[in-house]
Amino acid sequence: MTMTRRTLLGATATLPWAESLPAMPTGPDDDARWRAIAALYDLPEEVAQLENAYWGVMARPVRAEYQRQVERVNRLSSYYGRLSYGADHARVKRALAAKLGVPPDEIALTRNATEALKALIGQYERLRPGGAVLIADLDYDSMQAACASLAHRCGAGLIRIALPEPASHQGLIDAYAAALDANPKLRLMLLTHISHRTGLMLPVREIVAMARARGVDVIVDAAHSWCQADFTLPDLDADFVGLNGHKWLGAPLGVGILHIRKGRLDTIARDPADDGAHPESIESRVHTGTLDFAAQLTVPAALAFQERIGGAAKAARLRFLRDRWAETLRDMDGIEILTPADPRLACAITAFRIRGLTSVADNVGIARRLLEDHRILTVHRTGPAKGACVRVTPSVYSRPEDMDALTTALRGLVPALAKTA
């Protein structure tokens, strides 16, 4: 058999959209069509899966494409890797860049958002002794640690603020404005677009503008926000962003994205393992070694699947599911819903706290009772200044009755556990 280029590369998978996807939902409450979309995911039947922020389940056609790419890469091995991977890598970058709304040379592929953000923080070049870095209580633990390490290494200060709880759009802007005003030596800020702890969504564009006016750089953690909320990178107007592909995009595990705006590349040093051959390329800022080729090659299929659903439609459905439990219980005595109803500040992820139960053990116990007594999977989170909480995260395959089951479970659980003031 002659190994032609078509045989070697394989045609980009044409997923059977007409057969595998239903008509587009007419709105977030078009339950029949959302159920048809949910039917494209294979999930355990014995539990209501409301812990979907760890990583995203691949839809069946995307998973099939991943399996096809695993077989292809394994079969062709270095014959593919040496001769053709470069062209496919560029194709994947172009597809991601188009979805993100930036040029391909402003992004690099990583294994996850953590790897991207470690590069941005750890290789940040403009922090000097006497300067300072700002983090908040809702930032991701590893990114807080990376900022602390950078500050220590540079002889700079580390400033940590607690975000307002309850939060409001203007209250969040005011909190960061106050921190900027109180700390004139600030040179770098970490902003988490959507917190993995509570689901709070920051008004990033407004905060970035305030920081830029004061000469402060901002690194944005968008690990949870991309493809959960509906936005492109120009909407954030941030120079440095780390994103995930295996959470809300629904690509395989092992896909992340590093973004550095054109003209800001010299702010981030080359990766220590980079050989310096292409110092003006964003690829020189992250050195991952050999990546999972098959995971990368599946990205266009994941993008196409999400595009078929529609970013705005997906975000609206996620808010609909979130509101079905969170806003139903917001005024109930004994429960604190930690994410506001304001659609500018919340999407799918929302956390709750039962009054007086703020320890890690308390919230581990609440999540355990939801699972053992009601077959509802949630997860406890630590870190908010006012105490630990339980995180609830529906996805597009979640059903309204899952949210109703959670509501019923909490109506019984909260009065029994809440402590009187």
Where among 268, 303, 338 does a domain terminate? 303
| Predicted pLDDT of residue 24 | 82
Joined together, the tokens standing for residue 298 give: 């599946």
| Domain presence at residue 160 | yes
Report if residue 384 sits inside a domain: yes
Report the alpha-carbon distance of residue 91 to residue 353 in Å, rounded.
Answer: 45
CATH number of the structural domain spanning residue 258: 3.40.640.10
Indicate whether 224 and 123 sit together in one domain: yes
Does a structural domain hold residue 46?
no
Residues 262, 372: one domain?
A: no
Q: How many angstroms separate the Cα of 357 from the Cα of each of 63, 333, 379?
A: 40, 14, 15
The residue count for the chain? 421
Three-state SS for the chain is CCCCHHHHHCCCCCCCHHHHCCCCCCCCCCHHHHHHHHCCCCCCCCCEECECCCCCCCCHHHHHHHHHHHHHHHHHHHHHHHHCHHHHHHHHHHHHHHHHCCCHHHEEEECCHHHHHHHHHHCECCCCCCCEEEEECCCCHHHHHHHHHHHHHHCCEEEEECCCCCCCHHHHHHHHHHHHHHCCCEEEEEEECECCCCCCECCHHHHHHHHHHCCCEEEEEECCCECCECCCHHHHCCCEEEEECCCCCCCCCCCEEEEECCCCHHHECCCCCCCCCCCCCHHHHCCCCCCCHHHHHCHHHHHHHHHHHCHHHHHHHHHHHHHHHHHHHCCCCCEEECCCCCCCCCCCCEEEEECCCCCHHHHHHHHHHHHHHHCEECEEECCCCCCCEEEEECCCCCCHHHHHHHHHHHHHHHHHHCCCC
- For 165, the domain range is 87-303
- The alpha-carbon radius of gyration of the chain (Å, integer) is 22
The pLDDT score that the predictor gives to residue 142 is 98
Looking at the fold, whether 108 and 241 belong to one and the same domain comes out as yes
* Residues 288 and 327 occupy one common structural domain: no
Question: Do 142 and 161 belong together in one domain?
Answer: yes
List Cα–Cα distances, 406 to 117, 330, 367, 379, 398, in angstroms. Answer: 34, 13, 11, 13, 12
Residues 6+ apart with CB under 8 A from 257: 96, 100, 107, 108, 109, 110, 113, 116, 241, 242, 243, 244, 245
Q: What is the CATH number of the domain that holds 384?
A: 3.90.1150.10
Strands 256-260, 107-110: pairing is antiparallel
Among 303, 322, 339, which residue terminates a domain?
A: 303
Instruction: Please check whether residues 363 and 246 belong to one and the same domain.
Output: no
Give the pLDDT of residue 15: 57
Total domains present in the chain = 2
Of 303, 321, 342, the last residue of a domain is 303
Based on the fold, state whether residues 265 and 342 are members of the same structural domain: no
The pLDDT, as a whole number, for residue 396 is: 96
Same domain, 106 and 175: yes
Do 325 and 269 share a structural domain?
no
Query: Same domain for 110 and 233?
Result: yes
Question: Using CA atoms, how far apart are residues 164 and 386, in angstroms rounded to an integer?
Answer: 10
Torsion-angle region of 237 (φ positive above 0: left; ψ -120 to 50: alpha; else: beta):
left
Of 11, 24, 143, whose CA–CA distance to 396 is shortest?
Answer: 24
Between CA 282 and CA 103 the distance in angstroms is: 12
CB-based contact 265:123 (threshold 8 Å): no
What confidence score (pLDDT) does residue 10 get? 37
Separation of alpha carbons 391 and 54, rounded Å: 11
Letter for the amino acid at 419?
Answer: K
- Give φ, ψ of 363 to 5 degrees: -80, -30
- Walk along the chain (421 residues) in steps of 10 and give the mean pLDDT of each run: 36 49 85 94 95 96 96 96 95 97 98 98 98 98 98 98 97 98 98 98 98 98 98 98 97 98 97 94 94 96 94 97 98 97 97 97 98 98 97 97 98 91 43
283 and 354 co-located in one domain: no
Residue 379: left if φ>0, alpha if ψ -120 to 50, beta else—which one? beta
Same domain membership, residue 330 and residue 288 = no
Task: Evaluate whether 225 touches 242 at the Cβ level (below 8 Å).
Answer: no
